Amino acid sequence: MSDCLFCKMVSGEIKPDMVHADTDLIAFRDIHPQAPTHVLIVPRKHIASLDTARPEDAELLGKLLLAAQKIAHQEGIAASGYRTVNNCNADAGQTVFHIHVHLLGGKKLITPFG
């Protein structure tokens, strides 16, 4: 998708502050971090949101979470705890319509869920 911000990062047209890259995904620091560690994990394949993912994307979706685990260890936040977040569509806060997981940690996170 030529107008997708994350596709431009995947292609190398835009160069984010990368923390991980492999054949299936990239991960980079968020430019507006909400925690000391705030990394976005993005598949190379364009999938607009979790709502548009298909059964054949299951393995790739699993790789997003396993990458979050690996990066949490790499960043030194795994033992104290971290959060993974996926916002699906506009009312949930999704602003870039290329599925991605936020990895947050490095401080005690307050939960909005009670």
- Output 57-63 pairs: Cβ under 8 A, ≥24 positions apart: 60/24, 60/25, 61/99, 63/24, 63/25
Range of the domain at 82: 5-97
pTM of the predicted model, to two decimals? 0.94
Q: What is the pLDDT of residues 80-109, one digit of tens each?
A: 999 999 999 999 999 999 999 999 999 999
What CATH number did the domain enclosing 75 receive?
Answer: 3.30.428.10
Among 38, 73, 98, 100, the active-site one is 100
Sheet holding 25-29, edge to edge: 18-21, 25-29, 37-43, 101-105, 82-85
Active site residue 100: yes
Q: What is the pLDDT of residues 24-55, one digit of tens each?
A: 999 999 999 999 999 999 999 999 999 999 99
Per-residue tokens: 54: 């298909």
Place of tokens 């160069």: 15
Domain count along the chain: 1
* Alpha carbons 66 and 33: distance in angstroms, whole number: 21
Residue 57 falls within a domain, yes or no?
Answer: yes
Residue 105 falls within a domain, yes or no?
Answer: no
Place of tokens 């890259």: 21
Residue 107 falls within a domain, yes or no?
Answer: no
* Alpha carbons 114 and 111: distance in angstroms, whole number: 6
